[in-house]
Amino acid sequence: MATCVGNDVVDLCLPEIEEHHRRDQFVSRVCTPEERARLGDDPKRMLWTLFAAKEAAYKVLVKAGHQPGFAHRAIVVSADLRSVVWGERKLHLAVDANEVRVHAVAWVGDGAFVSGVEAASGDLGVDARAFLCRSVAPILGSSPDTLSVARAPDAEAWDGYAPPRLLVAGAPAPMDVSLSHDGRFVAFAAAIVAA
Amino acid sequence: MEQKEVFDKVVTILKPFVKNPDALSTVAMETSILKDLKVNSARLVDVVLEIEDVFGIEVKDEDADKVKTVGDAVTLILAKA
pLDDT at A89: 96
pLDDT at A160: 81
The distance of B22 to chain A (nearest Cα, Å) reads 16
Residues in chain A with CB shorter than 8 Å from the CB of B64 are 70
Residues in chain B with CB shorter than 8 Å from the CB of A71 are 61-62, 65
Any A CB within 8 A of B48 CB:
yes
pLDDT at A1: 54
Domains within chain B, CATH numbers bracketed? 3-80 (1.10.1200.10)
Contacts of A104 (CB under 8 A, 6+ apart): A7, A8, A9, A49, A52, A53, A55, A56, A93, A94, A95, A96
pLDDT at A195: 59
Q: Are residues B18 and A143 in contact, defined by beta-carbon separation less than 8 angstroms?
A: no
Residue B41 — very low, low, confident or very high, per pLDDT cuts 50/70/90?
A: confident
Residues lower than pLDDT 70 in chain A:
1-2, 194-195
Residue B56 — very low, low, confident or very high, per pLDDT cuts 50/70/90?
A: very high
Nearest CA in chain A to B17: A16
What does the angle CA A176 – CA A133 – CA B19 come to, to the nearest 5 degrees? 90
Half-sphere exposure of A57 (CA within 13 A, CB side): 31
Q: How far is CA A131 from CA A25, A93, A135, B26, B45, in A?
A: 35, 22, 6, 33, 28
Best interface-test mutation with B: which of A159, A161, A179 has the largest number of B CBs within 10 A? A159
pLDDT at A74: 97
The whole-model pTM stands at 0.93
Any B CB within 8 A of A72 CB:
yes
The amino acid at residue A151 is R
pLDDT at A90: 97
Contacts of B9 (CB under 8 A, 6+ apart): B54, B55
Task: Report the C-alpha gap between A43 and A51 in whole angstroms.
Answer: 12
Task: Identify which of A29, A69, A158 has the shortest CB distance to residue B68.
Answer: A158
Contacts of A96 (CB under 8 A, 6+ apart): A102, A103, A104, A115, A117
The distance of B3 to chain A (nearest Cα, Å) reads 24
- More confident site: B58 or A111: B58
pLDDT at A2: 61
